[in-house]
Amino acid sequence: MKKIVAIATALSAAALAACTPAAQNETAQAADQIAADANATMGQAINDTNAAADRAFGSAEATMDNAGAALSNAADKAADKTGAALKDAGNAIED
């Protein structure tokens, strides 16, 4: 993108040498507008890319959080069942 702006600026400078002052001014303004448009487009592309990355990372984080919660719940249930089985075994031995 910077190459396009540089080429446009170089062409504008070459054209300016053969023009009247009014035409030179208009050409310079057009070159400035091209550069501003290119910068705005690049800025928007960066913002869009950052937003997409944030959404992707947020989704991955939520998925990992949910998986961690599911594992934790399964481990808690297994520990509860093991504890209950040990209590039942202990009660059976006492009787």
Domain range enclosing 58: 2-94
CB count in 10 Å sphere of residue 28: 16
Please report which confidence band the pLDDT of residue 94 belongs to, taking 50, 70 and 90 as the band edges. confident
pLDDT at 88 over 90: no
Kindly tell me the number of DSSP H helices and DSSP E strands found in the chain. Answer: 2, 0
Side chain identity at 33, as an amino acid letter? Q
Between 61 and 9, the more confident residue is 61
Separation between Cα atoms, residue 29 and residue 64, nearest integer Å: 52
Cβ atoms 9, 35 nearer than 8 A: yes
User: What is the number of structural domains in the chain?
Assistant: 1
Average pLDDT over residues 41-61: 92
Between 89 and 82, the more confident residue is 82
pLDDT at 3 over 80: no
Which pLDDT value is given to residue 12? Answer: 65
Cβ atoms 3, 35 nearer than 8 A: no
Which pLDDT value is given to residue 42? Answer: 92
